[in-house]
Amino acid sequence: MRRLAAAALLLFLLAPAVVRADLLQPGDSFPSWTLPDQTGTPLSSSQLAGTRYLIWFYPKAMTPGCTAEGQGLRDQFAKFQQAGVKIYGVSFDVPADNARFVAAEQFPFSLLSDTQRELARQVGAADSSTQPVARRISYLVGADGKVIKRYDNVTPATHATDVLVDLK
pLDDT of residue 8: 47
pLDDT tens, position by position, 137-148? 999 999 999 999
pLDDT higher than 60, residue 16 = no
pLDDT of residue 25: 95
Rounded Cα distance, 136 and 104, in Å:
21
pTM: 0.87
Q: Does domain 23-167 have CATH number 3.40.50.920?
A: no
Cα R_g (the chain), whole angstroms = 15
Q: Per the residue annotation, which of 24, 66, 140, 163 is the catalytic one?
A: 66
pLDDT of residue 3: 59
Beta strands in 9-132 (DSSP E): 34-36, 42-44, 52-57, 85-91, 110-113
**66 included as an active-site residue:** yes
pLDDT band at residue 168 under the 50/70/90 scheme: confident
- The residue that leads in pLDDT, 22 or 122, is 122
Rounded Cα distance, 13 and 35, in Å:
24
